[in-house]
């Protein structure tokens, strides 16, 4: 198989039989876009499954106090025990001993999140592309299971993707969906969250030669480790590190220009250090400032056009700045966020989150 650098390819019409070669990268662009979408999905899942900001601002949560009375004399008076499931079943001798690691609720909350992403993406080998995407995500969180040195909880989530990628040569409309599972473990000031998700996006690309349709699949795993430094009961600093791996595959296809385009699987590694400051503003209003530096390490699969290998696309790291505002009223927590990306991705992001505690 021959290998031509992209500049030679773009200047050699005979190699692909077209006057414009940018369209051959539509599938590759979609694969890179899937990696950035997965980054946002993981960040959104971590933020949505997390408890309210008040949990991180120096406030400690405790279990109900154990009863001091003889269980035989208080048997049958459930309110004196708090939640009976916390202490186990009861028998003729009183409390059976229970289990400190019992879950307090089957479900703790349900949430819905909408995020809008507007980016101007710069690849090393192509002109900039404008991207405009909306993510709609919903999830359910289990009750917490408490242990001697911490607690854990699980969650599931699913969502819908709708967006567009465009420059002077290609115009791609993308729709798809995804599903994921989540787990957290918190002990003392440490919070460890992880998620595994998978998704599929159907891409329809208009070029000067016609319309191409190609599908992108991904499977990803991401872990986030955060540490709370409570300055007082109203202000907390939270450094964290996020690391993840995403496997991405775009199907092979024959373009409207007649070129046979094949794409090997991508292996994307992400490391994102983050610094967050959380503040209780007053009257159950909380705010947070975030700074993230997203480092992408990509092992891009080969791209071939009519059995001729071409250079793959690459982009540099980028930084995200964000501000969030949260308010809890009864069983409902509302949060709004707005952010800015700078680097290989430039643009604004924003969204809303609604959570209901069962």
Give pLDDT tens digits for 58-107. 554 334 444 555 555 555 554 444 444 444 443 444 444 444 444 467 89
The pLDDT, as a whole number, for residue 73 is 54
- Summarised one tens digit per residue, pLDDT across range 197-232 is 999 999 999 988 999 999 999 999 999 999 999 999
CA gap 39, 315 in Å, rounded: 15
CA gap 318, 149 in Å, rounded: 37
The pLDDT, as a whole number, for residue 16 is 40
Least confidently predicted of 36-50, 57-71, 121-135: 57-71
More confident position, 179 or 189:
179
Retrieve residue 287's tokens: 């705010």
The pLDDT, as a whole number, for residue 13 is 34
Q: Could you list the beta-strand ranges (E) of 167-265.
A: 171-187, 190-207, 210-227, 229-230, 235-250, 253-254, 260-263
pLDDT band at 141 (very low <50, low <70, confident <90, very high): very high
The pLDDT, as a whole number, for residue 244 is 96
Would you kindly state where each structural domain of the chain is located, as residue ranges?
3-63+98-357
The pLDDT, as a whole number, for residue 21 is 61
More confident position, 62 or 296:
296
Read off the pLDDT of each residue in 50-61 and give the average, rounded to a whole number: 67
The pLDDT, as a whole number, for residue 346 is 94
- The CATH superfamily assigned to 3-63+98-357 is Autotransporter beta-domain (2.40.128.130)
pTM of the model: 0.81
Is residue 34 pLDDT above 60, yes or no?
yes
The pLDDT, as a whole number, for residue 54 is 76
138-141, Cβ contacts within 8 angstroms, sequence gap of 24 or more: 138/110, 138/111, 138/112, 138/113, 139/45, 139/48, 139/49, 139/110, 139/111, 139/113, 139/182, 140/107, 140/109, 140/110, 141/49, 141/107, 141/108, 141/109, 141/110, 141/111, 141/182
The chain-wide mean pLDDT, for the chain, equals 83
Read off the pLDDT of each residue in 347-352 and give the average, rounded to a whole number: 97
The pLDDT, as a whole number, for residue 216 is 95
Q: Using alpha carbons only, give the angle 202, 203, 206 rounded to the nearest 5 degrees.
A: 155
DSSP 30: H
């Amino acid at each position: 198989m021959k290998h031509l650098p992209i500049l030679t390819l773009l200047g050699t019409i005979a190699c692909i039989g077209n006057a414009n070669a940018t369209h051959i990268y539509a599938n590759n662009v979609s694969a890179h876009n899937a990696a950035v979408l997965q980054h946002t999905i993981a960040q959104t899942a971590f933020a949505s499954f997390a408890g309210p900001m008040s949990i991180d601002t120096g406030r400690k949560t405790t279990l109900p106090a154990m009863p001091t009375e003889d269980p035989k004399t208080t048997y049958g008076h459930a309110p004196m025990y708090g939640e009976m499931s916390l202490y186990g079943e009861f028998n003729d001798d009183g409390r059976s001993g229970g289990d400190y690691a019992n879950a307090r609720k089957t479900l703790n909350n349900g949430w819905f999140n909408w995020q809008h992403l507007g980016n101007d993406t710069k690849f090393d080998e192509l002109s900039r592309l404008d991207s405009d995407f909306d993510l709609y995500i919903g999830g359910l969180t289990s009750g917490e299971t408490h242990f001697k040195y911490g607690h854990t909880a699980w969650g599931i989530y699913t969502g819908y993707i709708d967006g567009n990628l465009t420059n002077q040569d290609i115009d791609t409309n993308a729709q798809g969906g995804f599903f994921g599972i989540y787990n957290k473990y918190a002990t003392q000031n440490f919070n460890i969250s992880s998620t595994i998700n998978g998704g599929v996006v159907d891409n329809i690309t208009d070029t000067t030669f016609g319309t191409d349709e190609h599908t992108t699949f991904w499977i990803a795993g991401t872990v986030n480790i955060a540490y709370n430094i409570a300055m007082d009961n109203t202000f907390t600093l939270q450094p964290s590190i996020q690391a993840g791996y995403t496997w991405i595959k775009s199907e092979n296809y024959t373009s409207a220009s007649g070129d046979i385009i094949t794409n090997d699987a991508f292996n994307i590694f992400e490391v994102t250090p983050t610094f967050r400051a959380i503040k209780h503003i007053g009257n159950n209003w909380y705010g947070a400032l975030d700074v993230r530096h997203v480092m992408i390490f990509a092992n891009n699969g080969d791209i071939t056009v009519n059995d001729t290998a071409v250079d793959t696309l690459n982009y540099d790291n980028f930084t995200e700045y964000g501000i969030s505002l949260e308010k809890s009223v009864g069983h409902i927590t509302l949060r709004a966020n707005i952010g800015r990306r700078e680097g290989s991705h430039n643009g604004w992001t924003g969204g809303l989150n609604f959570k209901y505690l069962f």
